[in-house]
Amino acid sequence: MKKEVLKTDLLIVGGGAAGSYAAVTARREDPELDITVIEKAHIDRSGCLAAGINAINAYLNPGETPGSYLHYVKDDSYGLVRDDLVYSIGQGLNRVTEEVESWGLEILKDEDGNYLKRSSRSIKINGENFKPILARKVRKSRIRILNKTAALNYIVQDNRVCGVFALNLKEDKFYTIKAKVVICTTGGAAGIYKPNNRGQAKHKMWYPPFNTGAGYAMGIRAGAEMTTFEMRFVALRVKDVIAPTGSFAFAGGRQINSQGEEYLKKFSRITTSLRLFATVEENRKGRGPCYLDLGHLDLDKKEKLARSLLGMCPGMVLKWEDQDLDLSELKVEIEGTEPYIVGGHCQSGYWIDSNRRTTLPGLYAAGDVAGGAPKKYVTGAFVEGEIAARSAVEELKKLPQNFLELNITELIANEYNRVSSFLNREEGLEAEVLEDKLQQIMEIYAGGRSQYYRLEAEKLLMARRKLNELKAETVNLKADTSRELLAVQEVIERIEVAEVLVEHLLYRKETRWPGYQSRVDFPDRKKEWRKFVNSRLRTENNELEIIERKYKSLGDYAAFKDYDQADFYLEYNL
């Protein structure tokens, strides 16, 4: 492995939705800045938008406001979100949508030229080329892009993040990238739990399997405070092809069980997690499988649906064409995916302030890796990228010119030796072996699909013990190529994220989000648990410390002290 040292003013780790938007914003804020984006894959087709997307699901249609968005997100998350983060996302959603339209994204319009509404917070787009459009804008903004470059660890000196160590797959290169300020936009974590399918269909999963929790793991190791890992995300999806059920919603689909019963009607209050939970319960009680019944679908509607799905989930249409299905009466089987850790749908991630600053000096976070603001989706990731970039540029202005004259020879040698120790070994474990073991442990003892996502203390304690043993095995991993070295790094990341996840799951002694976090031993929601469970690795003794943080309503945050939004959630008394 060759070694190379780079210096940059602003380093953005991850060129997905949040990272791309942060890069473009930073350039706009400062035309002279040296900005670098490192991207594990290739920026043209990386992150969640690789296949495209057919709707923007966080947009405020006429009648909606940042306040109504906060109300919805908080209600859907059973009263526990960071009001300041969610509200500030709401303030920016429409601006960033219009901005990306000006970059070339095609947003569908109605006869009057208004955006075509899918629901009160959703509009339809032709987004198959969404990622290439973002990438082109980043390139036009004179940003240095290092593709096929995966971050390994932060460079931390005097308690400040001063860059990252990274691995370049194409050139077999070990990078030391020194940066005055770093923004982490690496996305969430998939592959912690056993996937739905086996063999060659293993990764017919909803979230990108290449998002392995790198940013979480780097933050955990460096002692960053993390929040709400226990709110796992489980998507309700069309079986086998994992197409989003939302794409079918236009036809007013009804969720029915095997007996044709509309099982959601048993509940007075429907949330995103409850739609999943209710489906899982039908299966558990022997009334599955469950379906999304779209009723009669004429040819024109079917073709429209197919074209819309091609720009996001071509596998769904492939299935129809492959099986030559008669879709005139469309009833698709639905099920839950394996659980993911993701801050854009749920709220696991870095504990950040309203400027998107993490608890580690020099480090900001945005998008799926940032916690506290569920349902931000793509446009919310843009808004966070924008806020993080603005805050980072402000901080950069205040730093001395010679800021990067670091003496880190020893840190470089240590990290290089750690990484290269996996290479050129005659014997050792392949990353896939430990990945399978990890997924098996989490599946059985930490509430996987086969366990109906149910959690209990005894099993979680078993998961803790087994993960501890598994972690000890990672020193025996081996890699023959740089791609295999990346796989080694990724399985270590996943194990470290899983360890923190299990501690969070153990700590919350209630059931707040049915399906996502269902405790068999604490089945009820409790008022006193309306608080954040955070954690931080104490680097001096390598122990994970749990930190409780109070829930605050919007007006209690200094930046929003003039906003009086009544805490409606109190009416549920939970």
Partner 1 sequence: MAVKIDKNICDGCPDYNQGRCERICPGSLISKQGKKAKIIRPEECWDCAACVKACPRNAISLYLPEEVGGRGTELKVQQKNKRSIWIFDREDGSRKVYKTG
Which residue ranges make up the site for partner 1 (CB under 8 A)?
40-42, 44-47, 50-51, 106, 126, 128-129, 147-148, 169-170, 197-205, 208-210, 240-241, 303, 306-307, 310-311, 314-315, 317-319, 321-324, 483, 486
β strands within 269-413, DSSP E: 290-296, 329-336, 349-350, 363-365
Smallest separation (angstroms) from partner 1 to the CB of 3: 21
Q: Coil, helix or strand for 324?
A: coil
- 240 versus 395: smaller Cβ distance to partner 1: 240
- 15 versus 362: smaller Cβ distance to partner 1: 15
Cβ atoms 176, 152 nearer than 8 A:
no
Nearest residue to 447 (alpha-carbon basis) of 458, 459, 436: 459
Q: Coil, helix or strand for 116?
A: coil
- 149 versus 153: smaller Cβ distance to partner 1: 149
- 55 versus 155: smaller Cβ distance to partner 1: 55
Smallest separation (angstroms) from partner 1 to the CB of 97: 19
Smallest separation (angstroms) from partner 1 to the CB of 350: 23
Smallest separation (angstroms) from partner 1 to the CB of 393: 29
Smallest separation (angstroms) from partner 1 to the CB of 4: 19
Token pair of 321 as six digits:
């064409």
- 221 versus 319: smaller Cβ distance to partner 1: 319
Nearest residue to 471 (alpha-carbon basis) of 443, 448, 491, 501: 491
- 304 versus 561: smaller Cβ distance to partner 1: 304
- Kindly report the backbone phi and psi dihedral angles of residue 517, in degrees, each rounded to the nearest multiple of 5, phi listed first: -145, 80
The full DSSP string for 438-459 is HHHHHHHHTT-GGGTTEE-HHH
- 17 versus 226: smaller Cβ distance to partner 1: 17
Smallest separation (angstroms) from partner 1 to the CB of 322: 4
Smallest separation (angstroms) from partner 1 to the CB of 186: 13
Smallest separation (angstroms) from partner 1 to the CB of 371: 24
Residues pairing with 237 in the sheet: 244, 335
Measure CA 373 to chain center: 11
What is the enclosing helix (H) or strand (E) of 531?
Answer: strand 531-538
Smallest separation (angstroms) from partner 1 to the CB of 509: 36
Smallest separation (angstroms) from partner 1 to the CB of 315: 5
- 190 versus 463: smaller Cβ distance to partner 1: 190
Cβ atoms 452, 444 nearer than 8 A:
no
- 236 versus 387: smaller Cβ distance to partner 1: 236
- 30 versus 44: smaller Cβ distance to partner 1: 44
- 253 versus 315: smaller Cβ distance to partner 1: 315
- 306 versus 574: smaller Cβ distance to partner 1: 306
Cβ atoms 428, 477 nearer than 8 A:
yes
Cα dist. 24→13, 134, 389 in Å? 14, 9, 9
Smallest separation (angstroms) from partner 1 to the CB of 486: 7
Distance CA 456, CA 67 (A): 36
Distance CA 12, CA 7 (A): 13
Residues pairing with 364 in the sheet: 183, 357
Token pair of 568 as six digits:
């409606």
The overall longest dimension of the chain from CA atoms, in Å, is: 71
Distance CA 138, CA 43 (A): 9
Token pair of 543 as six digits:
């122990």
Distance CA 546, CA 501 (A): 12
- 44 versus 384: smaller Cβ distance to partner 1: 44
Smallest separation (angstroms) from partner 1 to the CB of 20: 14
Cis before residue 289, ω within 30 degrees of 0?
A: yes
Token pair of 503 as six digits:
């501690």
Distance CA 475, CA 477 (A): 6
Smallest separation (angstroms) from partner 1 to the CB of 308: 8
The single-letter DSSP state of residue 83 is H
Which ranges of 351-455 does DSSP label H, i.e. alpha helix?
377-398, 409-420, 431-445
Nearest residue to 39 (alpha-carbon basis) of 178, 169, 213, 163: 169
Nearest residue to 134 (alpha-carbon basis) of 213, 52, 55, 60: 52
Residues in the chain: 574
